[in-house]
Each structure stands twice: as C-alpha cells, then as structure tokens.
Structure 1
Amino acid sequence: MKEFVPEEDAEVCIRALKFDNLSTEDFDSYWKACRQFRMADIKKMESTTAIFDKWLFYKIPSGFRLNDMDFDALHPNGDALLSTWETKRDAIVNFLSNDNVKDKNIKCSLEYIKNNEVSENSLNATILWPLHGYLVPTSRTVCKDKAGKNSVIKYTIKDSQEAFVLQRKSHQDLDDHLLHHLANRKTTIQPLLLLVYVDSVKYSFTNFLRAVDSCFKIFYVFYLKFPDAAMNFWSFIETYFCQLSSRHSNSKIHVLCNTLQGVKFRKKKFFFLKTFQLGSLTLGKRKADRILCDENLTLTFLIN
C-alpha cells in the first residue's frame, strides 16, 4: 500500500481552508497542497465518521468533487470509467447477450434495451445490472442466526445486485429499509444517515454513471472494502475500466476482461430519450455496504 509523506506546510493549508474566504480556484489549490497529509491521515482512521469529522469539506454537497481530485491525483486513469464507457459498453452488451448469462430476467432486460428507446441513464444502469448475472458472487460469510448459532451464507446474483443498487418505490420505503437494516445489526446504530440521522453526507447526481464513478472512487480514497456480495462486480470495474491492480482475484473477471479487450462486434445503435426520471443512489457502511436506490429521487450517495 502506498505510503504518503505529509507536506511540511500542510497545517497552513488546512487553516486557510477552514478560515480564509477562498475562491474556488484558491480552495482547490490549498486542498491539493495538503493531499499527502490528508491521505496519510485518512489511512489511519477507523471509520468514515472520523474522516468526516476531521475533513469537514467532504461533507458539503459538492464534496464528491474533492474526493475525485484526491483519487485522480493518486491514479492516472482516474476518469477511465467515464471516458471509455461509450467505447466499451457495446462490447459488454454483446458479451452478455451471447448466452453468457442464464438468468431469464437479465436476458429480458438486455433484449429490452436493444429493442426500445430508453434514456441514457436507464441504458447504462441496465448494462451494469446484468453484469452481476455473469460475475456470480463466490464469497461466503459466517453470521449468527436468531438462535445464536453460526451459519454460512452464500451470496446470490440478487444479493450482488442489491449490494450495488437497491431499488425502492418511494423515499419512505428507502428510509424504512435503512432503519430495519440498521436495527438488525449487532453493532451500535450510529447517527449517520441523511434525513434519518444527524451525521450524514449526501452526494446528488443527475447522471447514473457519474454516480457509480464517484462511488468507486470513494472506496479507494477512504480505504473501504468492496461489499462481499458485489466483490466480483466492483473488482471488474477496478480492473477493466480503471486498470488498477485488483484486491480480489476471480477467474470470471479475467475471462471477461480478456474477452472484452479482444472482442470484435457489430456496433449496436442505442436510442436515447431526451428526458428521464432518475433514482437515488447511496453509498453505505464503511467496510461493506451498498448503494441504495429510490426510484423517485435524483441519484444520491449516502455515506455512513
């Protein structure tokens, strides 16, 4: 893991960020000037709560932009997902449509985007969703049942999909799910979730792919573990699009990456609607949670 050498004038930069009335350009300059200090500091922290308490500017609505700057400085292919998506997505659709997934619902969704006009957000979401049908989870986890006995859980395709995007019909349904999810944890519930708890952070987007890109970068900058259920999916994004050495190895990821890099296909023309309705995306618990989706809201990350 990369070691960071804090800048000698980092404290001066931090004071300027906190107390000076800076222009956006000057703010960005000071933020970049104490990056090594910040990365070394974050690396030692045990929770996102500690990160947000120390580095308050991550909590502002545009805090994802600061996260992007940190990630892009650390990795030269920082915007690879966004910059190469349009040239690579057709190959993914072609691969998945070539009888590489067996799930009937996934096959139907692929056929739908081929034969119907859909928004760009819907198209991109529908391409990423079926990937879980090929990158079937291999992880298992041990948890205690109601009787207090250990039981082994093997994750399913649905688990992987819902560890990526969990869809709910309303904001209330989303809140209810979060409350139920947290109430059943063995650990103490922290006051973190937006609109439900106090210490919360929300990043809003109007573009599905932009939200996924920011989510991935948060994993890296904050040293978060990919969700176990969606480990294969996020490792594929990590390897194929961002060209980073994956922290997780799986034969299907290698097969998919190698196939896509050498695939030849007839380009498919997709039609985009001029208007669309967006959902809500939220990034969850440090060390392994999820993006949550409310169909009636804008794309949103919620970090706890």
Structure 2
Amino acid sequence: MDKLTEFIEENSLDPVCLLNLIDCGYTYENLQFIENDDLNFIFPNREDTALRSEFRAKLFEWKAKNKKNLQTLNQPKSVPTQNVEANMQSGPNVCKSAVDILQSTSCGKKIIELYNSIHVLSEENRRKIVHLISENFYNPQNNTYASVKLAEIEKLANEIVNIFPSEKIEIYFIGRKAAKRSSPGGILFNRLHNHFKKRKMSPKTVVSEPETAVFVASSEIVDCVQKLKFYVGTEDDSMELWTATHEFRKNFISNPDNNFAEVISQFPLFKQATGFKFLEHDFNKLHPNRQFGLTTKWEDTVPKLMSYYNIYLKDNFYKKLFKSLDDSVCPSSKDCILFMCLHAVIKPSHRFTVTHGNVKSFRKATIEDSVCSTVLQVSEVNDLQNHLEQLNNKNVESNTPIQPFVIVVGTELTNLTEFYVSFGEHLYKFSSFVLALDICFKVYQVFGLKYPNESHKVWSFLQEFMYNISTPFDIKHSNVVNVIEDLQKM
C-alpha cells in the first residue's frame, strides 16, 4: 500500500478523494502544498462540497501535526526542474509550453486523449488544464509562485487553443483592450493572478468615448419635436415625425447632462402603452437588421439550453426548477424559467461594499441577485408597488440604481399570466415573456443605460449570442464566451 492510500484510509476519507488526487497528478509528497484554491480543482463538482470540506479539515489537521516532518519530504514530481533563481524570473526560457506541461502528467495526457476522441472539452477539464499549468510555476522551496508576464500567459492561452482547436482564446485570456478594464481576464489569467498578486486591480473601468461632431438641429426639427410632445394624430403620422427627429433624439439621449426622466419628458410618446413601437424604431436605427434577434432565435435556442442545463446546471434550486418543466407548463412560463436558469450557469462575479454605521463589509452578488435584477415575480399587479419599494431599499444598500427589468405575474413560475417591462415609473404590457425580455433589452440599448452589475454577464450574453451586437465599450467575460462557444457547437 503506498503512502497516499495510507493517508486516505488513516483519515477515514472516501475513496473518491484518492481517485481525484491521482487524477490531478498528486502524490503523498504533494499533499503538503495543497491550499484552499486547489481544492476547487480536486473536487470541482457541487455535489462534492461535503467531501471537499471533510478532506480540507483532515488535510490541514495532518499538516499542522506533521509540520516539522513535512520540511523533509521530497519535492513534488510535477514541479519544474529549473533552478529556483531562474524559476522566480519571468521570461520565455522559464515558461514551458502548454503541451509539455500537459504531457508531463497523467491527468493532462488523459484530457488530450479524450479530446482527440470526442473533440469537445468539458468545463471540468478546462479547470484541470488551468490548474496543471498554474502548478508549473510553483516553487516548493519557498512556497511561492513565479511571476509570469502577460505575453507568456497569452502565449500559453494560444497554445491551449492549438492543442484543443474547438476552444476560444477568450476563455483563457482576454487582453486589457478587449476586456475594457485595467486588468486582463480569462480563466488562465485569473488563476495565475490569484496566485501571484502582482498588483491591485482597479475597482472599475473608465472608458473614454470617442469625440463626436456637435449636432445642431434645424428650426424645422425643433418644431417637429414640439409637435410630438402634444401629438394626438394617427400612429402613422406620429411615426413620420418620430423618424424625422431621430438624430435630435439620439443626441439628446447621449448628452450626459440629460437624465432618463428628462428624456421621457422631452419625448412623452415613450410613456404611451404603444411606446415600445417608437423604442423599436430607434433600436433599428441604432442596430440595423438586429431588431428580431431574440424573437427569431429563441425558439431554436431552447432545446440547446435544455441540453446545456442537463450537463452544467448545478445549483439545487434552479436545477429543481428546471426539472419541473413538463407539458403542463405554458410556453411563456417555460421561457421565463429557462432564462432564470441562465443566471445559474453564467454566474455573477460583482462585488460591492455595504456600510452599516461605521462598519463596512464586502459582499458578492449571488445568483438570486442576478435574477432579481432582471425578472420580478408578483402574484398580482396590485402587489407591484410593495415589491418595487423593497427592491429600491436593496439597491440603495448596494448603491446601484434600479434599472429596467421584466415583471411576470402569477402565483407560480410554472403558471404565469401577464408580462410587463418596467423602466422608470412606466410599464409596457406584453403577451409573452420573450417579447417582454426583447423590449427590456432594447430599453438598455436605446437609452444607453448600463447593465446592472449583478446581471451584466447575462445581458452581455443576450447582446452577443441573440442579437449579434458588438460595441467598442463591451466588456468581455470568459464564462460568457465559454457558454456561447458550447451552445454554438450544439
């Protein structure tokens, strides 16, 4: 019996622990180097949470008891053979290629063999690849990781894509320019950055917009704008005036001195029950030939989402909600539930500060926060005001404004009856959830509003996957790229 097996049996651990350790390339000598971050890769599945906690407690207890003896253990086999001084320097002569790193471990070889057979890389194997590469830079003698230049990380990401052609580099590395923030992104960069802690990340990105020519409206256009404020004619005639004033309205909305309420006051047709038709007109001007993106693509995407959720949906609540879908559920309720489950596979990463008196605490947005920033369920429309007040209090706490969102009416999510879009103090009513979601997205686009921090990733997914829209100010998210890549293969 080898020492690793003895360790598992002496601590009465589940045999799954042994299999996972071997699969990740660990030996008995490597155990002393396992930290909290590594446990997420050894036990990547949500159902292994209890097992992960038990293993962590017994591992750290063992490390504490054997602290002196651990200093004399042999170096891990997976540690690079370069000398320590060279290993702590960053440069192309130090950084191994991705293929060399993967081929040097049994776990890496298995991943390559499996990919060559099925030509698809699972989320779990992506994590293992990132883990194996990051461990290549570990130096056991001083318990530190070597720093790695961005060019080397990008090179490794490109090599991963060369090994696994169906992958996209944005999953592993997104440069500063593409990420639209002070720090790059991608799962490989994030993993290495968490180890190295080379510098503090900027809390938010400031994007400078390109200079635009000054717009000067003619007297005729100004007259048309005034007519629209009090117009009582036919819809066709009002749409003619609306089209004529598009450039004026576009510049008025983009002016930072004009807030949302002032835009609505200047163009009150937005407030009408049919105001979404004028909204769609402006959206089509802003993004030509993109206005039917969601409504035409959603039906074909539903079976793909259902297949994807069967594999990757791990959250217990939304997994149960997804399993509740059967023939008795009406189409709009089904669409709403599928959209809500999307938040559980494209999870939020936003963090914010909450202040209570003189005490500050840091919080991370949850799946529920992400869902609640896009969809509000009420039993009946009369309950809406109370829910809006609660939502407002919560947003005051996190110091974020209430953005447009979809309201669904029904005592159960599986039996929804009405659908609205809320923006400001105004409501649009629709016959289906997809139509409401479509207009809600267009409100963000036409009024130039920022997506809520909690659900930014999900709105970005809709923008890119459903509408095929890209702008110079988009923020790339590696897990959004990942989900889009997987859905496109289905």
Q: Which bin holds the TM-score, normalised by the shorter protein?
A: 0.7 to 0.9
Q: Which residue of 2 aligns with 1:195?
A: none
Structure 1 pair 257–7 and aligned structure 2 pair: CA distance change class (3 A): farther
Query: Alignment partner for residue 233 of structure 1, among 458, 463, 478?
Result: 458
Q: Which residue of 2 aligns with 1:166?
A: 376
| 2:480 is the alignment partner of 1:253 | yes
| 2:335 is the alignment partner of 1:110 | no
Out of 215-224 and 168-177, give the one that drifted further. Answer: 168-177
Aligned equivalents of 1:112, 1:231: Cα separation in 2: 27
The alpha-carbon deviation at position 178 of structure 1 amounts to 2.2
Q: Secondary structure at the match of 1:150?
A: strand
Structure 1 pair 155–166 and aligned structure 2 pair: CA distance change class (3 A): same
Aligned equivalents of 1:124, 1:208: Cα separation in 2: 7
Q: Which amino acid aligns with 1:81?
A: L
| 2:426 is the alignment partner of 1:216 | no
Q: Secondary structure at the match of 2:361?
A: strand
Aligned equivalents of 1:138, 1:258: Cα separation in 2: 20
Q: Which residue of 1 aligns with 2:73?
A: none
The alpha-carbon deviation at position 23 of structure 1 amounts to 2.2
Aligned equivalents of 2:236, 2:485: Cα separation in 1: 41
Structure 1 pair 55–256 and aligned structure 2 pair: CA distance change class (3 A): same
| 2:317 is the alignment partner of 1:101 | no
Structure 1 pair 18–128 and aligned structure 2 pair: CA distance change class (3 A): same
CA contact 1:6–1:36 (8 Å) conserved in 2: no
CA contact 1:239–1:245 (8 Å) conserved in 2: yes
Query: Alignment partner for residue 147 of structure 1, among 327, 340, 357?
Result: 357
Aligned equivalents of 1:240, 1:150: Cα separation in 2: 38
Q: Which residue of 2 aligns with 1:29?
A: 240
The alpha-carbon deviation at position 183 of structure 1 amounts to 5.2
Q: Which residue of 1 aligns with 2:301?
A: 88
| 2:352 is the alignment partner of 1:136 | no
Out of 100-109 and 16-25, give the one that drifted further. Answer: 16-25
Q: Kindly tell me the number of residue pairs found equivalent between the two proteins.
A: 251
Q: Which residue of 1 aligns with 2:254?
A: 43
Q: Which amino acid aligns with 1:85?
A: W
The alpha-carbon deviation at position 233 of structure 1 amounts to 0.8
Aligned equivalents of 1:57, 1:65: Cα separation in 2: 10
The alpha-carbon deviation at position 111 of structure 1 amounts to 2.3
| 2:292 is the alignment partner of 1:79 | yes
Structure 1 pair 215–6 and aligned structure 2 pair: CA distance change class (3 A): farther
Structure 1 pair 106–200 and aligned structure 2 pair: CA distance change class (3 A): closer
Q: CA RMSD in A?
A: 2.5
TM-score for both structures, normalised by structure 2: 0.48
The alpha-carbon deviation at position 43 of structure 1 amounts to 1.1
Q: Which residue of 2 aligns with 1:279?
A: none
Superposed, 1:121-132 pairs within 5 Å as 121-132=332-343
Aligned equivalents of 2:297, 2:346: Cα separation in 1: 21
Aligned equivalents of 2:393, 2:363: Cα separation in 1: 20
Out of 67-76 and 46-55, give the one that drifted further. Answer: 46-55
Aligned equivalents of 1:132, 1:20: Cα separation in 2: 42
The alpha-carbon deviation at position 110 of structure 1 amounts to 2.3
CA contact 2:229–2:266 (8 Å) conserved in 1: no
Aligned equivalents of 2:274, 2:231: Cα separation in 1: 19
Q: Which residue of 1 aligns with 2:392?
A: 182
Q: Secondary structure at the match of 1:228?
A: coil
Aligned equivalents of 1:205, 1:72: Cα separation in 2: 19
Q: Which amino acid aligns with 2:244?
A: A
CA contact 1:70–1:221 (8 Å) conserved in 2: yes
TM-score for both structures, normalised by structure 1: 0.75
Specify which structure has the higher proportion of helix: 2
The alpha-carbon deviation at position 159 of structure 1 amounts to 1.0
Per-residue displacement from partner, 1:174-198 (whole Å, max 9, x unpaired)?
Answer: 32232244357379x99xxxxxxxx
> Which runs of 5 or more structure 1 residues have no equivalent in the other structure?
191-198, 264-304
Structure 1 pair 262–226 and aligned structure 2 pair: CA distance change class (3 A): same
The alpha-carbon deviation at position 261 of structure 1 amounts to 1.4
Structure 1 pair 6–75 and aligned structure 2 pair: CA distance change class (3 A): farther
Aligned equivalents of 2:375, 2:231: Cα separation in 1: 39
Aligned equivalents of 1:87, 1:49: Cα separation in 2: 37
Out of 66-75 and 170-179, give the one that drifted further. Answer: 170-179
Q: Which residue of 1 aligns with 2:413?
A: none
Structure 1 pair 228–21 and aligned structure 2 pair: CA distance change class (3 A): closer
| 2:271 is the alignment partner of 1:59 | yes
Higher normalized contact order (CA 8 Å, seq sep 6+, divided by chain length): 1
The alpha-carbon deviation at position 172 of structure 1 amounts to 4.8
Aligned equivalents of 1:127, 1:156: Cα separation in 2: 18
The alpha-carbon deviation at position 69 of structure 1 amounts to 0.9
Q: Which amino acid aligns with 1:95?
A: Y
Q: Percent identity?
A: 25
Aligned equivalents of 1:166, 1:21: Cα separation in 2: 33
The alpha-carbon deviation at position 15 of structure 1 amounts to 3.2
Aligned equivalents of 2:320, 2:303: Cα separation in 1: 17
Q: Secondary structure at the match of 2:324?
A: helix
Aligned equivalents of 1:151, 1:183: Cα separation in 2: 17
Q: Secondary structure at the match of 2:354?
A: strand
The alpha-carbon deviation at position 103 of structure 1 amounts to 1.0
